[in-house]
Amino acid sequence: MKILTTLLVAFLLMLTGCAPKIPKEALMLKPESMQNRQMQTRRFATTDESKILNVSTALLQDMGFTLEEANAPLGVLVASKMRDATDAGNVTLAVFATLLTRRPVAYDKEQKMRASVVTKLLPNGKEMSVRVTFQRIVFNTQGQVTTAEAIIEPEVYQEFFSKLSKSVFLEANHI
């Protein structure tokens, strides 16, 4: 029994020695990461985090999102909305492929749009940082995820922050 245990331990040590190392570049940020973070973040001259979260919630709902998660103590909101993702060309190709192979061929059917808002009081104690990210997850007719990607179009973020700025101003001035 002791020999078997020794052999097992030796085998396990040999396996861990063969484990691949994590490449250094796997933990490095991409060059565009800072640019994306700047696009997704704005500062507001307020310390009222609950007001920012309430205004952000109302704005997301106005944009058609449904609130999924809200954690005020952490300053986090997550919302989503479902949208159609069918493309006539892909459907046509799927129909022809199904006819040729006599097996159903999947095509993109719907997408889930997700928005995440994170607020944080800045060290100066006078401003609040708000970061929003938008993602889309595309599902095919078999319910499989075919695409999961961040939305990085600047216009989307500019529009969100423009509306948020107006709402924060109106809220602050009780208009």
**CATH label of the domain that carries residue 111:** 3.30.310.80
In terms of pLDDT, which residue wins out, 147 or 175?
Answer: 147
Asked if pLDDT for residue 68 goes beyond 70, the answer is yes
Asked if pLDDT for residue 158 goes beyond 70, the answer is yes
Residue 85 belongs to a domain: yes
Residue 29 belongs to a domain: no
Domain count, the chain: 1
Residue 22 belongs to a domain: no
| pLDDT tens digit sequence for 25-66 | 767 777 788 888 899 999 999 888 999 999 999 999 999 999
Query: What per-residue confidence (pLDDT) applies to 86?
Result: 75
Residue 57 belongs to a domain: yes
Query: What per-residue confidence (pLDDT) applies to 99?
Result: 65
- Band (123; pLDDT cuts 50, 70, 90): very high
Asked if pLDDT for residue 18 goes beyond 60, the answer is no
Q: What is the 3-state secondary structure (H, E, C) of 40-99?
A: HEEEECCCCHHHHHHHHHHHHHHCCCEEEEEECCCCEEEEEEEEECCCHHHHHHHHHHHH
Residue 21 belongs to a domain: no
Query: What per-residue confidence (pLDDT) applies to 17?
Result: 59
Query: Domain range for residue 94?
Result: 39-172
- Band (8; pLDDT cuts 50, 70, 90): low
Query: What per-residue confidence (pLDDT) applies to 107?
Result: 75
Are the CB atoms for 108 and 92 separated by under 8 Å? no
